Amino acid sequence: MYTYNYFINDSEKVLLNDLFVDETNKQIITRLIREHRYFKELNEYGLPIDNKILLNVSPGCGKTFTVKAIASGLDKNLIVLNLNNIISGSINDITHNIKTVFNIAAKEKAVLFIDEFDEVSKVRSTDIKDEDNMGLLVNTMIHLIDYYPDNALLICATDYSEFIEPSLLRCFDLSVTIRKPSPELLDDYYDNLLSRFPKNLRSIERMYSISFAQAREHALAAIKKAMIDQIESR
């Protein structure tokens, strides 16, 4: 993983089979990957291919993991744009920095991932004091999204889509919603997570109605406690 001033070029590979999402979203993601794999063939007939995706994801429910699985499935570079590093300073600096990252991603035909996309509506700028400057930022983002090349992929994620400008929301081809996993999906996740540990450590109390991140934290804490208890009892 190589860190630059405004973005991260993330090379971690994630297999689609390791992705824990419900069947509907897995079908959507699989379709997206298949269409982009055969971009050239579909494009010859003028068939539209979704390449601007909005992820509505609850915290800790696998948005970054999902994006990595998509990038890995397409064998494309993944560029992660950190809006918090960009949307401060003058309006000229903000728009210049965003354009720079978009241009780099477009040249690489990469997957560009923008997390916390709603931050665009919470800009901290000394220049943004009126609607004109705010409109300039929104219009810049709309232009960059609209002209992001079809053979690349833009994925934006948010927990709060209601805070995003409606004109920005209309730029996306596809909206995918991922909420807290069902008990069945969490059981699959627990089974996978626990499979690498000895059998005598796998019988932990499982928690539900929580995110994957919370489930992982809970499971690993329980395993560490059980392991230490066993060591101390010898």
- The mean per-residue pLDDT over the stretch 84-100 comes to 79
- The mean per-residue pLDDT over the stretch 86-108 comes to 85
pLDDT at 133: 64
pLDDT band at 113 (very low <50, low <70, confident <90, very high): very high
Residue in 87, 65, 34 with CA at minimum distance from that of residue 157: 65
pLDDT digit string, tens, across residues 131-186? 556 677 888 999 999 999 999 999 999 988 888 888 899 999 999 999 899 999 99
Instruction: Determine the length of the chain.
Output: 234
Tell the residue number behind the tokens 């709603």, with chain if given. Answer: 118
Residue in 108, 87, 109 with CA at minimum distance from that of residue 97: 87
- The mean per-residue pLDDT over the stretch 53-66 comes to 90
Residues 6+ apart with CB under 8 A from 17: none
With a cut of 60, say whether residue 62 has pLDDT above it. yes
C-alpha to C-alpha distances, 230 to 91, 164, 198, 201, 204, nearest whole angstrom: 59, 51, 12, 10, 14
Mean pLDDT, rounded, of the chain:
87
